[in-house]
Structure formats: structure tokens, C-alpha cells
Amino acid sequence: MANKRTFIQFLTAFLYNGNLPGFFSGKIWQGPSKSICVPGLNCYSCPGALGSCPLGSLQSSLSGVVLRFPFYVLGLLILFGLLLGRVICGWLCPFGLVQELLYKIPSPKLVKNKATRTLTKLKYIIGLLFVIILPLVFFFAVGVGSPAFCKYICPAGTLEAALPLLSTNPFLKQNLGALFNWKLFLLIVTVIASIVVYRPFCRFICPLGAFYSLFNKLSYFGIQVDKLKCTGCDACISKCKMDCIRVGDRECINCGDCIGVCPTSAISLGVKDVCKAAPSKESVNN
């Protein structure tokens, strides 16, 4: 399962960023595919990006001189959520892959605990504040909105867009300022944290993961537990590196690491079966 997931993660990163000449020319792809949002976090300004980041597109609708309700982006996000939930985080997000590769570097590791579970709530606050509230505040205060999360926080944008563009564009290097230094600092912190903590950006910061988590139990495809087979041994939770209390909860990225350790083969990944997810009336009565 782990090897298959890693392969799909690399394949997804390539499909999202298939404009390979852009990394050498420093030019951002402007083809018709750029109007389409990809499911995972992948910066629009990455020179290889063939599509748009849903988080960036959502903020763009709330920025600029004209306030637009993001019907298309929000509808697409809901569709992604209903189909896949946080399968997207575990299998289809390039920045999630980057964090996992960094975590493989030998070092002391900080395992999940009550404090990290509490910190997972931070991404909902960040999402509400930087993706929704601040763009609207900027719009009503100065007449122009601002993509606050992309502009002030997102380390994925710094890694995937800013650094590749700077490497090929001397003019940009001459115009760096305090904002870039701040974003670079956040990226360095994220990189160091990812070596010690499993997927810290996904767990504590990412608004996109926060949104998809709302659909994790409702999604058509994902991980589920056959309640009739489950013995409640919690081997799955002991194996899980995310802040899950139970398989398939809001923090579950559907990675499938728990499947192999289940002694009764009660856990599966695929199209969800409602009959397996809930005990029968007879078993409840008994």
C-alpha cells in the first residue's frame, strides 16, 4: 500500500506540473488548462503548473476590485470533498509528498499526543481568518481584496513558485523585500518541522485539508472499518501518524497504513459500503 501511494503521489505531482520547460524558462503556463482547479495544494504560479490551486482560486474570487462569489471553485471543492474527502491529502497533494519525504530523514521524531491533536484545530482558524475574513476585510477597507493565505503564509507557494522563478529571473532577485524574507522563513520552519513531525503543515496549518476533513465521513471513496469484524484493539490508531482518534475521522488522510496492522482485516480502502460501516440491527440488539 505504501509503495503504491508513493508512486501515485509522484505521478500526481508530475501531472499537476507537467510544463517542464517552464522550470528552465521561468515562464508561468497560461494555457486553457490553467482555468481548471486541481484537487490538491499546488501553486498557480509554479512554472510547471498546468492547473490552478483551489485554495488560491477561492481567494482570487474574494480579491481584486470586484467581489465575486466563488460558485465554480466552491462547487468544485464540494465535489472533490464528496467524492474523495481527505484521500486528496494522502494521495493527491504534492506538498504532502514533500513533507513525507522530509520525515524520512533520520532524526528524533515528535509523535502525536494530546497537544498535537489540539493543534489540529488551528487549521480551521487559519482557513477562516486568512482565506475568508481577511480578503473581505481588505476589500471593504481599501476597495481591493487580498489573497491573504497565499500572500502571507503558504510555504508551498514559496517552494513551488517563488524559488524556481527566482532561479531563472535575475530581475525578481533585485526586487525582494521583507515579505519574501518572511515567506522564506516560514518555508524553512516548515522544512525543519517536517523532518521531526509527520506532515506538520497538513495537520496544523492547511485550510484545504481543513475543508476536505468536513467531508471525510461522507465521501464516496475512502477508508472504512467493518464494524462486525472490528475488535476495538486500536492497533490501527497506534500505527497511525496523524492525529486520529478513530479510523476515518476528520484527521484521517486515508493513507492506508492501518490496513496491514489490523488483525481481523476489518479496514479497507475503496468505495465505501454503508452496510459495513454500520452494525446491523441484530448486532445492535444483541
pLDDT in tens, 256-275: 999 999 999 999 999 998 77
Q: How would DSSP label each residue in 27-90? A: PPP-SGGGGSBPSS---TTSTT-SSB-HHHHHHHHTSBSS----HHHHHHHHHHHHHHTTHHHH
Q: State how far the Cα of 119 lies from the Cα of 251, in Å rounded to an integer.
A: 11
Side chain identity at residue 100, one-letter code: E
How sure is the predictor about 136, in pLDDT bands with cuts at 50, 70 and 90?
confident
For 222-273, CATH number out of 3.20.20.20, 3.40.720.10, 1.20.140.150, 3.30.70.20 equals 3.30.70.20
Given the C-alpha cell 489573497, which residue does it identify?
Answer: 147
Domain with CATH 3.30.70.20 in the chain: 222-273
d(CA 90, CA 212): 11
Scanning 160-233, the segments in alpha helix (DSSP H) are: 163-168, 170-173, 178-196, 200-204, 207-213
Backbone angles phi, psi at 77, to 5 degrees: -65, -45
pLDDT tens column, 9-65:
999 999 999 999 999 999 999 999 999 999 999 999 999 999 999 999 998 887 765
Q: Helix, strand or coil for residue 221?
A: strand
Residue 277: predicted pLDDT: 60
